Amino acid sequence: MQEPSQSPALSQGADAQALALGRVAILFSLARQSLFLPFAALCVAATLLGPRHLPFFASVSPLLMAIIISLATFRLAARFEQRSSDGDPQQWARRYTVLSALSGMVWGIGGGYLWFVPHLYAAQAYLCLGILGVTTVEFIARSAYRPAFLAFVVPALLPLAARLLLEHEAYAAMTGVLVLFFGAALYSYCARFTQMLDEALTLRQANVGLVNSLSSEKRAAEEARDIAEASTRAKTVFIANISHEIRTALNALLGMAQLLERSDLDRTQKGYIQVVIEAGRGLKTLLDDVLTLSNSGVPDATEAEDCDPGETVRTVARLLQPRAWEKQLRLSISAPASLPRAYADPRRLRQVLMKLADNALKYTDRGGVELRAEVINEGQSGPQVRFSVIDTGLGLASEAAQHVFEPFHRSDTSYAKRHGGAGLGLAVAKRLVQSMAGTIGFESAPGEGATFWFAVPAAGGAVAESELSVPIATDAPPPVGIKVLVAMADLVTAQQIAALVEPFGNHVRVVTSTQEVFLCAAREDFDAIIAMADEADALAVLPGLKTPVLALMAAGMRMPIVARQILRWPAPPGALYATLGDLVGRSGDAPVPALETPAIDAGAFAGLEKSLGLSTLLEILQSYVKSAEELSVALDAACQDGRWDEASRLAQDIAGAAGGLGLSALTIAARSVTQKVREGEEGEDIARAVAVVASEHQRVRKALTALYPDLVA
């Protein structure tokens, strides 16, 4: 479709074809207007009531012809939308231009002859206002294609302007010039309108290309993820198998060496055996450290989660006391009896303290080592139990601070070679401390000894990891299509769990007592019951209860007995989804039909997060939530005022915004409003559809907030 003065955005080839076809589509979509009817009706009324009496049919005939041409335009637009292929846009534009020319001739006949009243300026001015109003409407409808507007405006305005100029009156002549100037001004604006439309169409094509690119990148990322997960599983299986084989052989060697050490050997031979035993023990320690580093470092939720810090310090001191006596070092402990319990796995806690104390004894030749436990308060993180290992050894230089916890790093290579070790002890200690939501560090100066410390939350204090916003791309997706019974007296926690689970096509029922659990379980079949750890055991007394129980164990709670799964609470959404999916035997990736249409597709958002990054995705979602909120409020106001055309436009905008993010339920609801308005349904039916849009919008906000807590920040 060629025009004088086309937009620079128009390119050659397929892009130019798509751009031209998009402009024709806009032309046909704007052409469906009937605003000429009031203008024509006023012109007919003025003719019938004015001083010039014409036959009724002569006055009404232009109006009838305009209606016929308008209906023909509607049919042509319908054929354009139902075309089997894109076709030639120039051919469709020419057809539309022919209808525009016929419409212009009808208005030219009406304005230039049938409705024109000679020598009566008031009637002529009234007629000019009507004709110019129609011309403005036609300009809006045909601005996407200037030839169509030109085909209308020339036969519509020239006859009227000529009749005004032939009146030989000053006001009539000036009005005729004004009519010509008005048509020319509107025609000149077409170029700017066409340029803006081209820019909008080009941007839309770019967005389509971006979406296709993101989809391809999503598929590639998912394939890479699957390959990486398969590689990780293979590595885990390999490490487990090889570690088992090495441990078996190593234990046999150490056992035989220890038996040989007790046999009747001379001093030289016993020295050889002691070297073998020490080397075997070092190799066993190295193997344990490598396995710890290769592990995820996340403690099992079924392990005990609090312990006595004083008992931990005393246990480590008893184990290391022979080593201190051997080097003639003083080993002391400091652990007040009033210490709170530490919110950590005691086995891992002892492992970290053992490694730090063993290092202190290894690098200390004179003086002693002190093991200290104390309670501290650091800002808003709540009380913590801090363990310190203080030695009088060589100390560390300040430049070693950024490398000391790295694997295979040694601050003093020559000294470390004399004492052995692979440089994994501190790296393992850091990994274990981080797995317990703790922090680790050291204070030292060369020649003044060193203090290595680590701190873990105290029982009853807040766990720092519970405040983190965990992206769903690195966590398990939400389960879909399950029925969950949340049974707990704490309504705040119950509502929080419901907000995390319900938006994804799941059914959640909240009850506050054991009696309600019994009644609900008797009436409905639930896939899982979620309860606090201190309330989960009470469910064991319910007769015939076979629904698996997920217990949420907060700080200070004891381990429940009847729970099938246990989750430390508070926990990130991904941890809840993973545990719940394991409990019911399904995950969000499984093809399970939802009990209702999910508000959002969590898997799609996970793919977008991988492609765009969490910060970029949050910015996009914040912009969407803001604009969707404004559109929803405006849609409700338009519905209350009965402005159905505006309501249809707003619903279409909501559908466009929601469809771009894959929010299928909201998109369908918004399109339903537009469809009902187009079909002319009753206001009550449209209002009910608008209410559904508002409800779906709230569901979307709720689901997005559940997946991305930072979205409300």
Shortest CA distance to 485 belongs to which of 519, 515, 511, 522?
A: 511
d(CA 28, CA 30): 5
- Residues 320, 354: contact at Cβ < 8 Å? yes
Model confidence pLDDT, tens digit, residues 446-464:
778 888 999 988 875 433 3
Least confident range from 277-281, 365-369, 603-607, 645-649: namely: 603-607
Shortest CA distance to 531 belongs to which of 504, 556, 494, 559?
A: 494
Model confidence pLDDT, tens digit, residues 690-712:
888 888 888 888 777 766 766 65
Strand order in the sheet with 383-391: 330-334, 368-377, 383-391, 450-457, 439-444
Identity of residue 692: V
According to the model, what pLDDT value does residue 419 have?
A: 47
**What CATH fold (topology level) applies to the domain 218-294?**
Helix Hairpins (1.10.287)
Query: With b meaning 16 or more CB within 10 Å and e meaning fewer, what string describes 276-311?
Result: bbeebeeebbeeebbebeeeebebebeeebbbbbbe
Least confident range from 79-88, 295-304, 324-333, 553-562: namely: 295-304
Q: Is the pLDDT of residue 1 over 50?
A: no
Query: With b meaning 16 or more CB within 10 Å and e meaning fewer, what string describes 541-564?
Result: ebeebebbbbbbbbbbbeebebbb
Q: Do domains 218-294 and 469-594 have the same CATH topology?
A: no
Model confidence pLDDT, tens digit, residues 465-519:
333 333 333 356 778 778 888 888 888 788 888 888 877 777 888 888 877 877 7
* Cα 75 → chain centroid: 43
Model confidence pLDDT, tens digit, residues 645-700:
888 888 888 877 776 666 777 888 888 888 888 888 888 888 888 888 888 888 88
According to the model, what pLDDT value does residue 470 have?
A: 34
Helices (H), 262-345: 267-294, 309-326
- Residues 575, 553: contact at Cβ < 8 Å? no
According to the model, what pLDDT value does residue 464 have?
A: 36
According to the model, what pLDDT value does residue 502 have?
A: 79
According to the model, what pLDDT value does residue 297 have?
A: 43
585 conformational bin, left if phi > 0, alpha if psi -120 to 50, beta if neither:
left
Least confident range from 207-211, 293-297, 530-534: namely: 293-297
d(CA 214, CA 318): 60
d(CA 519, CA 515): 6
3-state secondary structure of 372: strand
The residue extents of the domains of the chain are: 13-217, 218-294, 309-464, 469-594, 604-712
d(CA 263, CA 276): 15
According to the model, what pLDDT value does residue 371 have?
A: 92
Polymer length in residues for the chain? 713
Interval 270-293 mean pLDDT = 72
CB-CB neighbours of 376 under 10 Å: 12
For the CA atoms of 668, 669, 672, 677, what is the dihedral angle to 10 degrees?
-140
* Beta strand pairing call for 368-377 and 330-334: parallel
d(CA 17, CA 11): 9
* pLDDT band at residue 546 using 50, 70 and 90 as cut-offs: confident
Residues 6+ apart with CB under 8 A from 700: 503, 599, 600, 628, 658, 663, 665, 666
* Beta strand pairing call for 483-487 and 450-457: unpaired
Interval 577-602 mean pLDDT = 62
* Pairwise pLDDT comparison (379 vs 657), residue with the higher score: 657
* pLDDT band at residue 388 using 50, 70 and 90 as cut-offs: very high
Domain spanning 309-464, CATH architecture: 2-Layer Sandwich (3.30)
d(CA 208, CA 151): 34
Q: 508 forms bridges with which residues in the sheet?
A: 484
Q: 414 forms bridges with which residues in the sheet?
A: none
* Burial grade of 493 (CB within 10 A; 0-12, 13-18, 19 or more): middle
Mean pLDDT of the chain: 75
According to the model, what pLDDT value does residue 296 have?
A: 45
* Pairwise pLDDT comparison (158 vs 290), residue with the higher score: 158
Least confident range from 261-275, 308-322, 335-349, 393-407: namely: 393-407
* Cα 510 → chain centroid: 26
Provide φ and ψ at 496, rounded to 5°.
-65, -45
Q: Return the DSSP state at 342.
A: B
* Pairwise pLDDT comparison (631 vs 600), residue with the higher score: 631
Give me 385's structure tokens: 């139990």
Q: Return the DSSP state at 307.
A: B
According to the model, what pLDDT value does residue 509 have?
A: 86
- Residues 217, 258: contact at Cβ < 8 Å? no
* pLDDT band at residue 304 using 50, 70 and 90 as cut-offs: very low
What percentage of the chain reaches a pLDDT higher than 70? 74
Give the H/E segment covering residue 334.
strand 330-334
Query: With b meaning 16 or more CB within 10 Å and e meaning fewer, what string describes 121-148?
Result: eebbebbbebbbbbbeebbebbbbbbbb
d(CA 5, CA 3): 6
**What CATH fold (topology level) applies to the domain 469-594?**
Rossmann fold (3.40.50)
Long-range contacts of 558-561 (CB under 8 A, 24+ apart): 558/533, 558/534, 559/302, 559/304, 559/533, 560/533, 560/534, 560/536, 561/536, 561/537
Model confidence pLDDT, tens digit, residues 34-54:
656 777 777 777 666 666 666
The angle that helices 491-501 and 683-707 make with each other, rounded to 10 degrees, is: 100
Model confidence pLDDT, tens digit, residues 106-139:
888 877 777 777 887 777 777 788 778 777 777 7
